[in-house]
Amino acid sequence: MILKTKGISSNIISPIVGRVTRMPSNNDGVSILLVDDDAGVSYFDRYSGVLSSLGYREIGNIPQVHSIPDLNHLSEGDIVVINADGVINTLYRVNSNHNSILVTERCNSNCLMCSQPPKDKNDIEYLSAIHEQLIPLIPKDCIELGITGGEPTLLGSRFFKLLELIKVHLPETEIHCLTNGRTFAWNNMVRELEKLNYQKLMLGIPIYSDYHAIHDYVVQAKDAFNQTIRGLYNLAEIGQRIELRIVLHKQTVPRLTKLAKYIYKNLPFVEHVAFMGLEYIGYTPHNINKLWIDPFDYNNDLEEAVEYLSSFGMNVSIYNSQLCVMPENLWQYARKSISDWKNEYLPECQQCTMLNECGGLFTWNLKKYSTHIKALT
């Protein structure tokens, strides 16, 4: 699925965010008109911008991007940002329940299997300006919105301003924020979050081992385990909703049951525990020898950990996994967790009787997947 395209820009000085429309009557001042044919369109000045698959049009000083290869990936009401270099990024898709906003590519961890390796660049001001325009435009009936990075809490005070903006404009939307949780080891961060009293916010925080040295090695950051645990306790004190995330690979699987027992005994306040299949992207291909284990080969470890937590009443899920690879008693925990724009199936999957219930694979995992995938009949 295309989320980014490019054309030739004109009259664009700073990023412009708006809803796309193919109907000239939708000229509300924040709409961006899509032009696919030579049909005459007037009143261009009522739009915040024009995107065209055609060549340059003489439309005065109205911002435009022309000669775009294809606009068919955009649906009526999608929200995009137009950049001065002619790049058009889709920020929100009205026909999807898998929308998220990237708030920074900076991070204070450097995980072995990071799917989006951190970049040391000052992108916070640029992205914050875009989100300030985006959030008021998102439909009020948006079911769920993700916040991701990098590490979102590195925004500092901007992080809490972002949450407050979302809370005001999308009061009924569930917010799922991915964070390593380390900054919440500091009381000032927790106190700021407490002020928001944001009941719709869930923090997804990774923990990779019950043993500090393994966790620190996986995230490639000294004292990360202690900071994360301290942050989790601080968050629990203010009643913050928390999800724990455990990526399954060669470094985490050997102590998986011990980690499950650690979670139940020390972190019973978490709302959800997700065991997650490995993504073959970002740092993973480079570190594959340190990470790869066929998901079929860790079934016993996964089964023991999942059923241990479930037996004590904890809410457990398995993400990014295929039903045919795991024992049938674990199917009840498997979720279709992969976002629609990066979800694929192998050719043999088309003959499977469980296709509609199976979560499939990441697009990039078509290069690396279990040798035990097969069609169930």
Q: Does residue 132 sit within a domain?
A: yes
Which domain-ending residue is among 61, 89, 117?
Answer: 89
Task: Put the strands of the sheet holding 174-178 in their side by side order.
Answer: 99-102, 144-148, 174-178, 201-206, 241-247, 272-276, 316-319
Q: Does residue 336 sit within a domain?
A: yes
* Pair 150, 118: CB distance under 8 Å: yes
pLDDT mean over 71-95 = 95
Q: What is the pLDDT of residue 267?
A: 98
Q: What is the pLDDT of residue 274?
A: 98
- Summarised one tens digit per residue, pLDDT across range 305-351 is 999 999 999 999 999 999 999 999 999 999 999 998 889 999 999 99
Are 110 and 83 contained in the same domain?
no
CA angle 362, 364, 370 (to 5 degrees): 70
42 has a pLDDT exceeding 60 = no
Q: Does residue 375 sit within a domain?
A: no
Are 55 and 152 contained in the same domain?
no
Whose tokens are 């629990």? That residue is 236
Q: What is the pLDDT of residue 27?
A: 64
Are 104 and 234 contained in the same domain?
yes
41 has a pLDDT exceeding 60 = no
When divided into structural domains, the chain yields a total of 2
Among 27-41, 58-72, 230-244, 256-270, where is mean pLDDT lowest?
27-41
Using DSSP's 3-state secondary structure scheme, residue 100 falls into strand
Are 105 and 70 contained in the same domain?
no
Residue scoring higher pLDDT (123 or 58): 123
Q: Does residue 193 sit within a domain?
A: yes
Helices (H) and strands (E) in the chain, counts: 8, 17
Q: What is the mean pLDDT of the chain?
A: 94
Are 77 and 23 contained in the same domain?
yes
48 has a pLDDT exceeding 90 = no
Look up the CATH number of the domain holding residue 38.
3.50.30.10
Whose tokens are 């049909």? That residue is 39
Q: What range does the domain containing 38 cover? A: 4-89
Q: What is the pLDDT of residue 45?
A: 65
Contacts of residue 53, Cβ cutoff 8 Å, sequence gap at least 6: 35, 36, 67, 68, 69, 70, 71
Are 83 and 200 contained in the same domain?
no
Which domain-ending residue is among 56, 89, 122?
Answer: 89
Are 63 and 120 contained in the same domain?
no
Q: How confident is the model at residue 55 (pLDDT cuts 50, 70, 90)?
A: confident
- Summarised one tens digit per residue, pLDDT across range 206-235 is 999 999 999 999 999 999 999 999 999 999
Are 39 and 172 contained in the same domain?
no
pLDDT mean over 137-161 = 97
Q: How confident is the model at residue 139 (pLDDT cuts 50, 70, 90)?
A: very high
Helix ranges restricted to H, 138-186? 157-169
Look up the CATH number of the domain holding residue 166.
3.20.20.70
Q: Does residue 44 sit within a domain?
A: yes
Are 287 and 330 contained in the same domain?
yes
Q: Does residue 77 sit within a domain?
A: yes
Percentage of the chain modeled with pLDDT above 70 = 96
Are 85 and 103 contained in the same domain?
no
Q: Does residue 238 sit within a domain?
A: yes
Percentage of the chain modeled with pLDDT above 90 = 86
256 has a pLDDT exceeding 90 = yes
Which domain-ending residue is among 51, 69, 89?
Answer: 89
Q: What is the pLDDT of residue 171?
A: 97
pLDDT mean over 60-82 = 92
Among 12-26, 87-101, 226-240, where is mean pLDDT lowest?
12-26
Q: What is the pLDDT of residue 44?
A: 66
Q: How confident is the model at residue 353 (pLDDT cuts 50, 70, 90)?
A: very high
Q: How confident is the model at residue 24 (pLDDT cuts 50, 70, 90)?
A: confident
Are 59 and 126 contained in the same domain?
no
Q: Does residue 377 sit within a domain?
A: no
Are 167 and 307 contained in the same domain?
yes
